[in-house]
Amino acid sequence: MQHAQIIVEGIVQGVGFRPTIYRLAKHHKLKGYVKNLGNVVEIVVAGKKSNIKNFLKSIEEEKPPLCKIFNIDVKYYDAPLKFDDFKIVKSSKKFYGSSIIPADIATCKDCLEEIDNPKDRRYNYPFTSCTNCGPRFTIIKSLPYDRERTSMDEFPLCDKCLKEYEDPEDRRYHAETTCCPTCGPKVFLWGLDVDDPIKETAKLLDEGYIVAIKGIGGAHIACDATDEDVVKKLRKRLNRPSQPFACMSKDIDTIKKFAIVNENEKETLLSKSRPIVVLKKKEDCAIANSVSPGLHTIGVMLPYSGLHHILFKYLKKEAYVMTSANKPGMPMLIKNRDIIKKLNGIADYFLLHDRKIINRCDDSVIRFRGGKKAFLRRSRGYAPEPYDFSKYCENKNILALGPELDVTFALVKNGKCYVSQHIGNVNNYDVLKFLKSAINRFLSMIKIDSLDVVACDLHPQFLTTKLAQELSQKYSCKLLKVQHHHAHAASLAFDANVDEYICITADGVGYGSDGTVWGGEILHFKGKNFKRMASLIPQKMPGGDLCTYYPARMLLSILKNVYDDEELVDIMDDYKKYFPHGKKEIEIVIKQLNKDFNVNITTSTGRILDSIAVALHICSRRTYEGECAMKLESAAYYGNDGLEITKEIYKTDNRYVLDTSLMLRDVIELLKKGEKRRDIAFAAQKALAEGLAELSVLSAEKAKVDIIGGSGGVFINEAITKTVKEYVENQGYKFVQHENSCPGDGSISLGQAFISCL
């Protein structure tokens, strides 16, 4: 008789793994037990060695659909038979291995059938779930993942649910979120006494009311997305003049009525993670223009909770705004009292429930560029599923805090890198507070009580940098400051599995090694080291960050390099309304530039895109991050190729540079000639992309490398990404881009953590 101890590491909790092991062990005539051991599963079996080997093979082949196995460790030993059966035993408090915190999962087909069946006891019950679906990360207090360590501990199971929960043959065996109308959470319309709160909510939405809806990872604000007046009303109440809203529709066929959906997008929309997917609008789109004003795209998702599915049984319109219920810059709301208090005057009604959200988690956002997926935001449905760092780092505990905007943080332990859910912009006290609490919760869940490295951005004034300094002192560990674009390049290097390459890092802002503002850089990435090979030409930013909010200031500065002051005043007269103080401000800014007073230096690609947008009267002021560049992309989407924009490259300070002042001069001159704005937008965007690509090829030739990649927020732009890719590949180089991480700042923490491991 052979015995074996089997330790399985991976996503093996909350996914029906133990009942599967129970059934497989019975099938292979083995005795013993299976139990959670911290965050791994321990299996001890006794039987014929051939049966054990067949059992091991079947674990890989027949594991549950949501299970991911990272490692199986098997130890054989001879011992007397101690077991008379195979059992599932209670979880151990002993902690072994790395913590794998399961992500939230959309309601499965079996549960949806029960919700739709009038004869089932879970008919129209919004919290229906099983081992194959439902909330995970958002309800977890601590590990191992058992009901008593989740927010479901407040809902003792009724006799019928308990029977399912304790039956290894049932798909609800140890389904920690399982419940029913008798014993589970309740949904209610706050302040209203109605028999069917969800049905009443649908009626209110179709009547044009705005409703706050508490979901899995936070609250949404919902309204009819086909009603221009109600969407405008929501914008006014939220003080979000033009930031695009996400929508939710009943099914794929409905989405296809107003958006173009390819196979990759369809597959992602229907995936268990149910992210928001950015789609192209159809020309006859019935969705209100105010949902994504000035854009050719719209973010759409499908229902992912029982509540959503029931709601759409009664809703009548094609789509409904389903945007995060928080004021700009503030964390997502998760507590009932906060939802009611902070959304007072914004929402007309509140559809709430009494299950606590432990970990807030925004919706993930994905966009396809040339058939390649990229995360705009990696959060619900994906976070905090780890990246595999075992090739680079097995024994270090690392915390990486990211930048200041679109922050995530990353924790490394035992060769796994756990990147948090979306945290937000940490230039706000409430978001900083959220960041600190989320870090503490992760440290506790992953059982990290010491750190070897705390990594952060190079910028000395970022609140994340200051927090990193505090934490490095607290844990008496190394503080590693990582240049922003080096971290971008590192995140892509990890994603694409390359050790050395040329990376085009193009975004809005990043603190450079020379103290200036970078954002249009060509870096030679080589692990812990990088070399700046080329860039856009440095431009002056009069008033610093004012240029990011009022891009006409940046346009004026760029054009000052190619026009004298008198010509410049004449040209800028067409843009005086874009300056808060009109023509007088134009004159002051010119004097400011002449004296180099309160002027920053930047090579930012984002500032160039903003300037093109304002030059073409496409966007006059930034009201949300990336607004001008996004509206420029949408204008260019409808443009035709044929116009020429100057792409002059020369060498200065021992690096190649692209002259962006000449590009903006050409934009102005083409506009004077009466060319169509969308055609100029197409030409300018294309010229900038080709200029960056040419810089990267020149740098690759010099560095003698054959791989080029693109990272930074600019590579969310589909047209720029495709243009760079085509140019690079036509020159004989391999092009790599983000697929399982964010081109933008959401993966800076991943890059910082990666560099810390090298």
358 touches 256 (CB < 8 A): no
Kindly report the number of other CB atoms within 10 A of residue 741's CB atom: 21
Kindly report the number of other CB atoms within 10 A of residue 581's CB atom: 11
Q: What is the dihedral of CA 601, 607, 611, 617, to 10 degrees?
A: -140
The 8-class DSSP code of residue 620 comes to S
3-state SS, residue 535: strand
| Residue 479 bridge partners (DSSP) | 454
Please, which residues have CB within 8 angstroms of residue 569's CB and are 6 or more apart in sequence? 586, 587, 590
| Residue 399 bridge partners (DSSP) | 411, 454
Closest CA to 309 of 564, 467, 123: 123
Phi-psi region of 423 (alpha: psi -120 to 50; beta: other; left: phi over 0): alpha
DSSP string, 658-703: E-HHHHHHHHHHHHHTT--HHHHHHHHHHHHHHHHHHHHHHHHHHH
For residue 500, what is the enclosing H or E element?
strand 500-511
Query: Distance (Å, rounded) from C-alpha 411 to C-alpha 408?
Result: 10
- Give the torsion sign (CA, 250, 253, 256, 260): positive
Q: Which residue shows structure tokens 């975004």?
A: 507
Please, which residues have CB within 8 angstroms of residue 173's CB and are 6 or more apart in sequence? 16, 18, 19, 88, 131, 164, 165, 166, 167
β-pairing, 655-658 vs 529-536, is parallel
- Estimate the crossing angle of helix 605-615 against helix 551-559, to 10 degrees: 90
Return the active site residues. Answer: 18, 36
3-state SS, residue 213: strand
Query: Distance (Å, rounded) from C-alpha 4 to C-alpha 34?
Result: 12
332 touches 362 (CB < 8 A): yes
Q: What CA–CA distances, in Å, run from 560 to 11, 537, 567, 589? A: 57, 14, 9, 11
